[in-house]
Amino acid sequence: MPYQTVKGTYDLLPEKMKRFNELETLFRSFLEIYGYSEIKTPVFEYTGVFKKENDTSDMVTKEMYTFSVNEKDSLTLRPEGTPGVIRLIIENKLYGSMELPIKMAYIEEMFRHERPQKGRQRQFTQMGIECIGDKDPLIDAEVIALGYFYIKTIGLEGVKVLINSLGDTESRLNYKKELIDYFTPYKDQLCTDCQSRLLKNPLRILDCKIDHENPVVQNAPKMKLNEVSEEYFNQVKHYLDILGIPYEIDDKLVRGLDYYTDTVFEVVSTNEESGSQATIFGGGRYDDLVKEMGGPQLSGIGFAIGLERLLILAEAEGIFLESEPYLDAYVINLYENNDQAMKVAAMLREEGFITEMDYYHRSLKAQFKSSDRKKARFVIIIGEDEVKNETVTLKDTLTKAQEEVPVKELCERMDQLLEDYYE
């Protein structure tokens, strides 16, 4: 059997890789505009970075790639970006040296042992931001805005912003108690996952994929925010209104990770192509995570976009950010050696022209075929006469005009022809 990619992983062939890069480049320009600095954390960390005591999320309890090499340290492949960023901030004491809030971003591979399907891999890429050090509704709205306007700039249709508030620690504790009291008599009617979530994290029962149509879940009491949390959430909504970001309030949105407090949000696609994996990105605020990980009491908020899901949707909607690949110049070499062709190609590249040359000394026809296939704008032909005269034959493939040009004047002449053409 020939080797194949491992289930849930994939290759990126040149065309897809290019689209990936385009989406990343646009994301990076948003990071710059909004003042986020990109960082990279290691692909694996000590397991404790991701796994907290009493964690109930599927990601931590079932999906992490955890291993040990020397039977001493338990290590885990990064399943999400947030904890690594916080570890980095604490380890480097950035809260002492940088102005708050600290605005960090990452584009990194993540690993989760999930059941693979369209839009859900075991290795995937997240583009994420974390804004750590201050708690203000203005920041929540700004974080959502960065992600939302990025998606809108790509041009995706049918994008919906869902928001909810899980309340501050006090509201959450009260709500947790209320849910435990409510669900306990119905425990037998819940799925096995929810039965084990009941005491540890009853909020997760609300967005359980198995139980979501169960009347017991549908009739569960709603979150009652305390006054502070309510006012906070109202302010977030107010700023979203000011920014012109449409949103829906989804009171069952609790998100799959345990650390969220107050604002949580997801941006989902209504495009059928996204199938059951409609969440393009998700995120929320976390008041206690930095402290829990050994840092000071600093609140943070962030989100992560799944790059593969974004690509599926962009392709389904026929969106490509850049034009098809093409060449500025293809150097056809008919001379007995490669010296002059190499020199000319090097000169063109130095001047920024995207250039390729023939490596095989093929017939003129075969070389022209290659230049056609690669969509070269100019063809540069070098034969015996041209080498003798220190010239090249320059052919413009759009106007079909052909002329002999001294090598020294080639770049200038190409610039001139382009300028005349686009005038």
Q: Which residues bind ligand HAM (CB under 6 A)?
A: 80-82, 112, 114, 119-121, 124, 126, 128, 130, 256-257, 279-284, 302-304, 306, 308-309
Which of residues 183 and 232 has its CB atom nearest to ligand HAM in the complex?
232
Question: Cβ(375)–Cβ(325) under 8 Å?
Answer: yes
Give the nearer residue to ligand HAM in terms of CB position, either 304 or 331. 304
Residue 315 CB, shortest distance to ligand HAM, in Å, is 15
Q: Which is nearer to ligand HAM, 168 or 396 (CB)?
A: 168
Nearest CA to 290 out of 261, 325, 328, 263 is that of 261
Q: Which is nearer to ligand HAM, 264 or 394 (CB)?
A: 264
Q: How far is the CB of 80 from ligand HAM (least distance, A)?
A: 4
Looking at residue 408, what DSSP letter applies? G
CB nearer to ligand HAM: give 84 or 202: 84
Name the minimum Å distance from CB 301 to ligand HAM: 7
**Minimum CB distance to ligand HAM, residue 81 (Å):** 6
Cis peptide before 42 (omega within 30 of 0): no
Query: CA torsion angle for 250, 30, 313, 12 (degrees, to 10)?
Result: -130
Q: Nearer Cβ to ligand HAM, position 189 or 271?
A: 271
Write down the least CB distance from residue 296 to ligand HAM, Å.
18
Q: Which residue is nearest to ligand HAM (CB)?
A: 306
The two tokens of residue 241 are 């209104």
As measured in angstroms, the least distance from the Cβ of 310 to ligand HAM is: 8
Contact by Cβ (8 Å): 125, 9: no
User: Which residue number, 308 or 396, has a Cβ lying nearer to ligand HAM?
Assistant: 308
Query: In angstroms, what is the minimal distance from the CB of 361 to ligand HAM?
Result: 47
- Minimum distance between the CB of residue 149 and ligand HAM, rounded to whole angstroms? 17
3-class SS of residue 42: coil
Tell me how far CA of residue 58 lies from CA of 89, 154, 194, in angstroms: 26, 31, 11
Give, to the nearest 10 degrees, the angle between helix 192-200 and helix 169-183: 130
Please name which of 341, 343, 321, 325 lies closest in space to residue 333, comparing C-alpha atoms.
341
Q: Which amino acid is at 132?
A: I
Phi first, then psi: what are they for 37, rounded to 5°? -105, 135
- Determine which helix (DSSP H) or strand (DSSP E) holds 333, and give its type and residue range: strand 327-333
We find the least distance from the C-beta atom of residue 261 to ligand HAM, in angstroms, to be 11
Whose Cβ is closer to ligand HAM: residue 304's or residue 379's? 304
- What is the maximal distance between C-alpha atoms in the chain? 95
CB closer to ligand HAM, 26 vs 199: 26
Q: Tally Cβ neighbours within 10 Å of residue 51.
A: 18
118 DSSP assignment: T
DSSP 325: P
How far, in Å, CA of 107 to CA of 128, rounded? 6
CA–CA dist 17, 25 (Å, integer): 12
